Amino acid sequence: MEIPMNAVPRVHSEAGVQRVGGRFMATSPDDSLHTFEDEGGQVSEVAERIIELVDGQRTLAQIVEVLCEEFEVEREPCASDTARFVELLVEKKVLVL
């Protein structure tokens, strides 16, 4: 599934996302626990920022714009990586569009 840039992600109605001990954690409807880490097992600042920006009002494009400004990255790779991350969270039923 390719997520369009005008999609508006929001937290799944049966999922929970909250900050615990300074980092975000999420539970999906099947009670799976999800954390947001990079390949090295460290907290991913970008992933956590995406979770913060998912408010049910911002489009994927608007989230990408904020990330590009805050992390000073190029738009194209940021848009691609952000869309893949949101797609993964939709598959895990943490987010819906």
CATH number at residue 21: 1.10.10
For residue 17, which amino acid is it? V
**Does the pLDDT of residue 7 top 80, yes or no?**
yes
C-alpha 10/C-alpha 84 separation (Å) is 15
Ramachandran class of 51: left when φ > 0, alpha when ψ lies in -120 to 50, beta otherwise: alpha
Domain count, the chain: 1
Q: Could you tell me if residue 97 is inside a domain?
A: no
What is the domain range of residue 41? 10-92
- SS3 per-residue string spanning 10-33: EECCCCEEEEECCEEEEECCCCCE
Averaged pLDDT of the chain? 95
Ramachandran class of 44: left when φ > 0, alpha when ψ lies in -120 to 50, beta otherwise: beta
CB 32 within 8 A of CB 55: no
pTM value > 0.85: yes
Q: What is the pLDDT of residue 87?
A: 96
